[in-house]
Chain A
Amino acid sequence: MDDATVPQTVDLAKEYEASGVAEVLRELDEELIGLEPVKRRIRETAALLLVDKARRDLGLEVETPTLHMSFTGNPGTGKTTVAMKMAGLLHRLGYVRKGHLVHVTRDDLVGQYIGHTAPKTKEVLKKAMGGVLFIDEAYYLYRPDNERDYGQEAIEILLQVMENNRDDLVVIMAGYADRMDRFFSANPGFRSRIAHHIEFPDYTDDELARIAETMLGQQNYHFDSAGKTAMTEYIALRRQQPHFANARSIRNALDRARLRAANRMFQTKGVLDAAALSTICEADIRASRVFTGGLDSDRRSPQ
């Protein structure tokens, strides 16, 4: 590059504002409750990328960093949501050209007969070019019990593209922590190609209660005070029962509570105002089977 065109100094704070990264991080902080370690990792990654970008602008040699990531955590801890934000972040920093997110699972990558897998995987990869490829429950790609499983073929193509097209797309693999660990130890190629392993912790009861309120708020509903207490108790009980999926369980619980609330309103005679139409009260929550020991199917002993 010509010396005259290369700036001699760089103002990181200014770059930070100009890139729009601050905005994404602010959104991340405001819209996502909890997840402190995740936010910290993302902020660190953003800082690294910003410094790299500044170095490149000053004409210093920079190798394209490996940006492939793995998100591990229990269901409902916000992996997909964060992946979407990540795509926006990388786009603003100029590390992916388009910044869209392609969400796939095993079914989208692996074919059903010989010769079906490669075109299928390639098609998905072509769609993801210039953006982020999000592979949910990535460990299903690898089935050690069946050595003729076509998943292996998809893995090989993925590895090749992750290495050769680092400028063109970023791959994020997500799944439960223990299974992902096993997946990575069986496929060492992935472990070495993925630089950022981010763990998503479970939400605390307090955070889930705040999430519940935010979710209701977005749908123009709110708890009355007894309802709020009931929800707190609900969360504590629900956590101990099987198939607990963090924020997703809360969303389902709220959907059912709204159903019950609608029924209750229908049965009350007389005129309702807007406030009454958007209140979730104690009875709507307490009617849940969680308070009586969970679903029948979970309690019954297997026959």
Chain B
Amino acid sequence: MRITQGCFSFLPDLDEVQISKQVEYCLENEWAIGIEYTYDPHPRNTYWEMWGNPMFDLRDPKGVMMELDDCRKAHGDAYIRINAFSDERGVESVKMSFIVNRPADEPKIHMQRTDFESRSQKYAWDVRA
């Protein structure tokens, strides 16, 4: 099942040139860029593993693309996303986030209904292969 979160996730996957252009847009806005990856795409899993520190003061998307290549080499079968942080509110807050790498076989997100007191139901989701 295709995981949809962040920007562009209902579109076909971005290619290298398109990713590069999106990063360029972020850099033009003076946002810092962070690369993160995870093997657990559960929607409640907010904090993904960081691939190195977020990159500040870059001028050209090439630096980000180099890191992305390295991350893909190491974690080609993981979800990888690019986060752009803006500091205009005095904290580094995420302004934009998009997935740039998916595993060949994406897992399913399965919903589990459980009966609870007095006919109420509880729902839970888990990620399954």
Chain A residues close to B by CB (< 8 Å): 97-98, 100, 119, 123, 125-127, 129-131, 165, 168
A163 to chain B, nearest CB (A): 14
- Does the CB pair A129–B52 fall under 8 Å? no
Interface range on chain B (Cβ under 8 Å from partner): 10 to 19
B61-69, B77-85, B117-125 - the one binding chain A: B61-69
- Does the CB pair A131–B60 fall under 8 Å? yes
- Does the CB pair B62–A165 fall under 8 Å? yes
Nearest to A126 among chain B residues (CB) is B63
B42 to chain A, nearest CB (A): 30
Nearest to A125 among chain B residues (CB) is B63
- Does the CB pair B59–A131 fall under 8 Å? yes
State the CA gap A111–B105 with chains docked (Å). Answer: 40
- Does the CB pair A97–B60 fall under 8 Å? yes
Number of cross-chain contacts by CB at 8 Å: 33
Secondary structure at chain A's binding surface: helix, strand, loop or mixed? loop
Residues of B within 8 A of A123 (CB): 53, 55
Q: Does B57 contact A (CB under 8 A)?
A: yes
Residues of B within 8 A of A130 (CB): 59-60, 62
Which of A97, A126, A131 interacts with B66 by CB under 8 Å?
A: A126
Which 7 pairs between the two chains have the least Cβ-Cβ distance?
A: A130-B60, A126-B63, A129-B62, A129-B60, A129-B63, A98-B59, A168-B62
Residues of A within 8 A of B63 (CB): 125-127, 129
- The 6 sampled A-B contact pairs (Cβ below 8 Å) are A98-B59, A126-B58, A126-B62, A129-B59, A130-B59, A130-B62
Residues of A within 8 A of B53 (CB): 123
B29 to chain A, nearest CB (A): 15
- Does the CB pair B60–A98 fall under 8 Å? yes
State the CA gap A100–B66 with chains docked (Å). Answer: 19
4 other A-B residue contacts (CB within 8 Å) besides A129-B58, A130-B59, A168-B60: A97-B60, A127-B58, A129-B60, A130-B60
State the CA gap A165–B62 with chains docked (Å). Answer: 10
Which of B52, B55, B59, B67 interacts with A100 by CB under 8 Å?
A: B59
State the CA gap A123–B60 with chains docked (Å). Answer: 13
Nearest to B56 among chain A residues (CB) is A127
State the CA gap A151–B52 with chains docked (Å). Answer: 22
A39 to chain B, nearest CB (A): 28
State the CA gap A216–B60 with chains docked (Å). Answer: 38
Considering residues A97, A129, A168, which has the most beta carbons from chain B within 10 angstroms of its beta carbon?
A129
State the CA gap A119–B55 with chains docked (Å). Answer: 12
State the CA gap A130–B20 with chains docked (Å). Answer: 13
Residues of B within 8 A of A97 (CB): 60
State the CA gap A125–B62 with chains docked (Å). Answer: 10
Nearest to B66 among chain A residues (CB) is A126
B28 to chain A, nearest CB (A): 11
A173 to chain B, nearest CB (A): 20
In B97-118, the 8 Å CB interface with A consists of: none
Return the CB mask of B35-74 against A: 1 if under 8 Å, else 0: 0000000000000000011010111101110110000000
Residues of A within 8 A of B62 (CB): 126, 129-130, 165, 168
State the CA gap A129–B24 with chains docked (Å). Answer: 12
B49 to chain A, nearest CB (A): 16
State the CA gap A17–B60 with chains docked (Å). Answer: 27
- Does the CB pair A119–B52 fall under 8 Å? yes
